[in-house]
Structure 1
Amino acid sequence: MLDSGAQLSMAEFHEWWADRHWSSRFTVEQVPLADMGDWAFDPATGNLGHSTGRFFTIEGLQVRDNGVDTWAQPIINQPEIGILGIIVKEFDGVLHCLMQAKMEPGNVNSLQLSPTVQATRSNYTRVHRGTTTRYVEYFAGPARGQVIVDVLQSEQGAWFWRKRNRNMVVLVTDDIPPHEDFRWLTLAQIRELMTVDNLVNMDARTVLSCMPFALPDESEATTGEAFRDSLIRSYVYQADEGRQSALHTPGQILSWFTEAKTRCDWTARLVPLGQVAGWSSGADEIADEAERHFRIIGVSVEAGTREVQRWNQPLLYPRGEGRALFVVRPINGVMHLLVQARPEYGLMDLVEMAPTVHLLPGATAADVPDAFLRDVLLSGTAKTLFDTMLSEEGGRFFNAVTRYQIVEVGDDVPVDVPPNYCWMTARQLIDLLRHGHYLNIEARSLLACLHSLC
């Protein structure tokens, strides 16, 4: 049962969630960039930054291919590494996560379920002179808990310049009374909430994807339900050098990934925002002249539950919604995910493993470059297993939502695929998450969603 061993029933969770919405005061108003107080354009570079020199800046990105400038855009440069952390504790033998109802100015619905701690270094070191970040001492101080996960992971390479955050999980045994904005939830409850549109935020999803959990035993793959049994095997099989149940060994996967990175013949660098062609910076917003990509807008925020209750900041505002989709199919009785080696200009290592299909806001299935995938998506023959709208980082993006999907296919998607794709088991992807810069943020979100199908 979903509530078995839980400190809080799902009915009680929804009562608490509704109360957090009703009792909190949030307002987000779009304002001209010129009216953001401590934020201003640098007269020499055109970059948009804060008077303290902290938090982040909006700068320019220039891409060169074979020595020729081919692409330019604004990009968010946030060099400091923040903490995304979840405290876990066992209650009567059942693992619980301390989750937060957190407001971010760019969220489509104000509040979303977030990690225990979700804070930039500027925030948890109190550059803003606000109150202390609750529970941060369990992650960054001498009293921190037993570290279960501690890995640097990337974020959106299309919108961030080499952005990384510290994904952490710490186990505690002492009593931690939850503040009114926090509640203890089981992994089963969180996975159920993952199916609700725009409820579990991006930062929670990435930490949850990195969290080790009790994998099913191979003996459980005897239910007679073809999908579930093949998925259980996908979590069990590591594809060590002597096992043939997975299509590729770990060594083959790493070689494939390295080869994908060596094929990149472009370079990217930061340039002054004022030098970015095809974009204009005005008093109201920064926007591309073709109105196809995104805008940088300013907002004035009031949030009674945050460390600072009033502030201004810029946000990246996408045009339309994105799409991230994993194609899955059983191979040798084991469910495999079709992983893409995807280059993105803002990534630190150029390429990361991404969902089979990854479309930025405004693109459609017709824009998928590979015909074998485009035909499957447009034909409607794939079986949809997961389909939920989930928000991206509300602290930097305004109303950025992505349609996350997992679809099962048959022989219409071949085992032999183009060189930028590779079939992998769920266990192989989980093992890679012990390290940074392998799976991109969208792939990690979908892997967290996949756990809800077990």
Structure 2
Amino acid sequence: MSPTKTLRTERSARESADTGRRFTRSASLLDSTVTSNDVFHRWFAEQRVRNRFEVNRIPFKELRGWQFHPDTGNLGHTSGRFFTVEGLRVETNWGHHPSWAQPIINQPEIGILGIVVKEFDGVLHCLMQAKMEPGNLNTIQLSPTVQATRSNFTGVHGGRGITFIEYFRDPERGRVLVDSLQSEQASWFLRKRNRNMIVEVTEEVPPHEDFVWLSLGQIHQLLSRDNIVNMDARTVLSCIPFDAPNGPARWGSAGPFREGLVRSMSADQGSLHSAGEILSWLTDLKTRHSLVQRSVPLQEVEHWHVSADVIGHETGKYFTIIAADVQAPNREVSSWTQPLLAPVECGRVAMIVRRIDGVLHLLLRARLEAGVLNVAELGPTVQCLPGNFRGLPEEQRPPYLDLVLGAEPEQLRYDVVQSEEGGRFYHAENRYQIIEVGEEFELEELPGFRWMTANQMTLLLAHSNYLNIQARSLLAGLHTIW
């Protein structure tokens, strides 16, 4: 390696280590003089009452600008943009179901999910937005500085521009600290990805009544509460490369679990498998298994039926497609209609964790989902709608589901209900749990499962299509408890 390349590599390593320390310092600040916790909660409560938001279900015939295609039955926008609800046929040699067909959301464009950060008094703060989404249970949740599809930020909707989008479309205005393409819910989206970014700025950022500066420590406290921090914020937060903390516990008492978590965050601590072994294992799974995805007309998807106001499965399982009329005065467009995907129940998403030689390990499962980009991604130990598996024989139920459903309170390290993407999904919630097990839990891995450290998960997030959105949400939750 030439001297110039050596210097660049050394400088890059120093900058990366410095970035991790700065993020960890921000996470250690639990209150801030920039925006105190009291001020935030008053501001957030005011946001929920200041604007009048209404979301009402309507029959499909009342959709404006949307229509069922006469030849295919696909539900799409007359502009040809935004997204379509269409049929997908899946064939695979993975699992108990070699083929099936279902409706799926096809949105073939890469959006931007971005957080602007800036130092105040030597500590990084995140510029967060109180954003209304039609599918949110509580309408407004804390979102990134920007969450926008290409159709949005190129103005297809004909409304106002996206506030602060310039920091992400012209990242040279700041320093890019995080930048990776990550997937969304592959059971409901066809190969959907977003660019997850964190951009540091030094210039003065104009104030805006819908935005607030918070430390990562303040955001972590909010991540421990139900339905406050939205999915788009959680996925960006999960990509942060924290340094392992070397100070006292932020809350509660230090103990073996926290010690194991801190060691799990450290690159030089012992892991059951090396990063190379994990990547080779996942590559082998993708090589040995096939996934054929074929778009088909929605009207040809068997066992799914269209009525005046719902598209649903004949068993009542899985999800439905509905239509909604939305009134939102502070959005780029103040009134619109759109389809939304509505799951039939609250899901369960859980990560089993265990200390192995004093290092906390997380049990991940390689998952094939209908709309995944490349055969499989790593997901949580358990990820499902429990009702879909009620009454099925043991071999067709997700491994460890009964353990998760019967977990004792003293095993729960994280237990929060979180909303999924409110721009496309209606009242979609999952109960996210991190469940610690002891030495009685076998280390031997079932097919498709691997033990990993928090540091290994973070390293994978520097790249695309390794961890699914549910695993990323749980990683963001894990970082709230050190």
Match of 2:123 in 1: 94
User: What displacement does 1:370 show?
Assistant: 6.8
Give yes or no for the alignment of 1:313 onto 2:338: yes
Residues 385-433 of structure 1 deviation map (CA, whole Å, 9 limit, x = unaligned): 1100000000000000000000100123211111211111100000100
Residues 52-83 of structure 1 deviation map (CA, whole Å, 9 limit, x = unaligned): 000000000101246x9721110000001110
Match of 2:51 in 1: 24
User: What displacement does 1:143 show?
Assistant: 5.5
Match of 1:124 in 2: 153
Mapping of 1:20-419 within 5 angstroms? Answer: 20-65=47-92, 70-141=99-170, 144-217=173-246, 225-238=255-268, 245-360=270-385, 362-363=387-388, 373-374=400-401, 376-381=403-408, 383-419=411-447
SS in 2 for 1:261: helix
State the TM-score, normalized to the length of structure 2: 0.88
Q: Return 365-374 or 273-282, whichever deviates more.
A: 365-374
Distance 2:173 2:76 in 1: 33
Distance 1:219 1:196 in 2: 22
User: What displacement does 1:148 show?
Assistant: 1.1
Specify whether residues 224 and 301 from structure 1 end up closer, same or farther in structure 2 by C-alpha distance, changes over 3 A only.
closer
Distance 2:376 2:53 in 1: 38
Residues 101-148 of structure 1 deviation map (CA, whole Å, 9 limit, x = unaligned): 000000000000000001111011111110010000000037632111
Counterpart AA for 1:210: C
User: What displacement does 1:365 show?
Assistant: 8.8
Are the counterparts in 2 of residues 24 and 305 from structure 1 also a CA contact under 8 Å?
yes
Are the counterparts in 2 of residues 5 and 92 from structure 1 also a CA contact under 8 Å?
no
Specify whether residues 16 and 309 from structure 1 end up closer, same or farther in structure 2 by C-alpha distance, changes over 3 A only.
same
SS in 1 for 2:352: strand
SS in 2 for 1:436: coil
Match of 1:422 in 2: 450
Q: Return 280-289 or 322-331, whichever deviates more.
A: 280-289
Distance 1:348 1:386 in 2: 29
Match of 2:4 in 1: none
Specify whether residues 231 and 365 from structure 1 end up closer, same or farther in structure 2 by C-alpha distance, changes over 3 A only.
farther
Distance 2:389 2:101 in 1: 22
Residues 281-318 of structure 1 deviation map (CA, whole Å, 9 limit, x = unaligned): 23312111111111110001000110000000000011
Give yes or no for the alignment of 1:447 onto 2:472: no
Distance 1:419 1:15 in 2: 49
User: What displacement does 1:363 show?
Assistant: 4.2
Are the counterparts in 2 of residues 390 and 403 from structure 1 also a CA contact under 8 Å?
yes
Residues 252-277 of structure 1 deviation map (CA, whole Å, 9 limit, x = unaligned): 11111112222323422211111111
Distance 1:334 1:227 in 2: 9
Q: How many residues align?
A: 447
Counterpart AA for 2:158: R
Are the counterparts in 1 of residues 417 and 431 from structure 2 also a CA contact under 8 Å?
yes
SS in 2 for 1:12: helix
Are the counterparts in 2 of residues 39 and 313 from structure 1 also a CA contact under 8 Å?
yes
State the TM-score, normalized to the length of structure 1: 0.94
User: What displacement does 1:177 show?
Assistant: 2.8
Q: Which ranges of 4 or more aligned residues in structure 1 deviate by more than 6 Å?
A: 364-368
SS in 1 for 2:237: helix
Are the counterparts in 2 of residues 329 and 410 from structure 1 also a CA contact under 8 Å?
yes
SS in 1 for 2:445: coil
Match of 1:14 in 2: 41
Distance 1:202 1:378 in 2: 23
Distance 2:279 2:332 in 1: 43
CA RMSD of aligned residues (A): 2.2
Specify whether residues 378 and 80 from structure 1 end up closer, same or farther in structure 2 by C-alpha distance, changes over 3 A only.
closer
Distance 2:351 2:35 in 1: 32
Counterpart AA for 2:41: H
Specify whether residues 371 and 16 from structure 1 end up closer, same or farther in structure 2 by C-alpha distance, changes over 3 A only.
closer
User: What displacement does 1:211 show?
Assistant: 1.9
Distance 1:308 1:150 in 2: 28
Distance 2:191 2:364 in 1: 22
Specify whether residues 328 and 96 from structure 1 end up closer, same or farther in structure 2 by C-alpha distance, changes over 3 A only.
same
